[in-house]
Amino acid sequence: MEPSAPITQDVMTFPRKETPSDKINLVGLTRDALRQTLIENGTPEKQAKMRTGQIWQWIYQWGVRDFAEMTNLAKDYRAMLAEKFEVRVPEVVSKQVSEDGTRKYLVRIDGGHEVEVVYIPEEGRGTLCVSSQVGCTLTCSFCHTGTQKLVRNLTAAEIVGQVMMARDDLNEWPERGAPKDETRLLSNIVLMGMGEPLYNFENVRDAMKIVMDAEGIQLGRRRITLSTSGVVPEIHRTAEEIGCLLAVSFHATTDETRDVLVPINKKWNIEKLLDALREYPKATNSERITFEYVMLKDVNDTDEDARRLVKLLDGIPAKVNLIPFNEWPGAPYKRSSNNRIRAFATILMQAGYASPIRTPRGEDIMAACGQLKSATERARKSRRQIEAEAGLQAQ
Ligand code: SF4
């Protein structure tokens, strides 16, 4: 089925749906938690495993939200489910579509908070950039999200819900009985949106387990990349408990510079981080760790930086993603020149490291790397400020 027609650049806003009910949302529960919740709410224990499997498939394989449509369940059981439970995903507040097809969604989660999610279509694949926190625990100085204080961690429901919301928008749910269509518009997930995923480990883990489940959304672990700024104690655990690919927000080759760009470096410096990465059990030549390196003019982009980076990566199955800096309002940095970025990449490639230069996507809608922030928050503030200044609010 064709995905819904993109309308370039316009901000499509969507009316607010009814406020969330006090029903239990089944989205985001692990299989065990779902089974337990069904038992606690009236499903006989000896049936619970089978019911769990059936409901799981309806929710995650077929994208069904209405219990009445779960036709392999008895009518009265469906009625009981509808009374106590709901299948709810984050609500789309607005959607912007870039000239290059990139889609940026602003979604509302419980408590009225908003996070941004970005879908990047490419030839033969499509990547969803998923957020894990409202705002961020950290304050990386090149990142727009870093200027937004942490409001809270997203729940597993709100993380997997972003994937489900995007599949809705892309009409990507398979049709029951229709021949299996292997092409996927949403084929990859990167945990590179708002927030530091390893400061929300359990929810990220549970959400990705649901996404990887073979009887649901069925995205393999090698199609999921988790990006961390360097929460060293959780790196090994990522391999053990999630098993996805790993990326590191590296961005500098000296502690002095990285302390400024990625302040978590003051807690776990380059040496400690690289030691943890050398031990990363999942790192192999076919599953290299991605080192993200934002190219900042006259900050971290010299030939010497490139040569130092080569030395630092020694012994780690690695590739480097060079990210031309995407400016945002008030950003204290400038993007390196294309020649400088190419020169930097050449030194890495000559040393044997794949170092693709990332093509900025969705810049025209502030959807590129490091540009995400709940812009609505700031916009609304300024409107409120305007009203306050105009004394409008007093009326
Ligand atoms: S780069 Fe990542 S960890 Fe750093 S402030 Fe931005 S969202 Fe947070």
Please list every protein residue whose CB sits less than 6 Å from any atom of ligand 1.
136, 138-140, 143, 145-146, 194-196, 229, 249
Task: List the catalytic residue out of 129, 172, 292, 369.
Answer: 369
DSSP β-ladder status, 85-86 and 91-97: unpaired
pLDDT of residue 2: 40
Q: What is the average pLDDT value for the chain, to the nearest integer? A: 89
Decide whether 28-86 matches 91-389 in CATH topology. Answer: no
Q: At 220, phi and psi to the nearest 5?
A: -65, 160
Task: Give distance in angstroms: CA of 196 to centre of ligand 1.
Answer: 6
Residue stretches of the annotated binding site for [4Fe-4S] cluster: 136, 140, 143
Residue of the CA atom closest to atom 5 of ligand 1 = 146
CATH code, 91-389: 3.20.20.70
Distance CA 76, CA 41 (A): 14
2 belongs to the catalytic site? no
389 belongs to the catalytic site? no
What are the sequence ranges of the domains in the chain?
A: 28-86, 91-389
Residue count (the chain): 395
Residue 318 has pLDDT above 80, yes or no: yes
pLDDT of residue 155: 98
pLDDT of residue 362: 79
Task: List the catalytic residue out of 91, 116, 234, 363.
Answer: 116
Q: Which of 116, 129, 131, 140 to mutate to test the pocket of ligand 1 (most atoms within 8 A of CB)?
A: 140
pLDDT of residue 197: 98
Class of domain 28-86 as given by CATH: mainly alpha
Beginning with the edge strand found earlier in the chain, give each strand of the sheet holding 125-129 in spatial order. 11-13, 91-97, 103-108, 114-122, 125-129, 188-191, 224-228, 245-249, 289-295, 318-324
Q: Is the model more confident about 259 or about 358? A: 259
- When pLDDT is cut at 50, 70 and 90, the band that residue 116 belongs to is very high
Q: Which of 143, 231, 266, 333 to mutate to test the pocket of ligand 1 (most atoms within 8 A of CB)?
A: 143
Q: Is the model more confident about 1 or about 55? A: 55
- Tens of pLDDT, residue by residue over 56-111, are 999 999 999 999 999 999 999 999 999 999 999 999 999 999 999 999 999 999 99
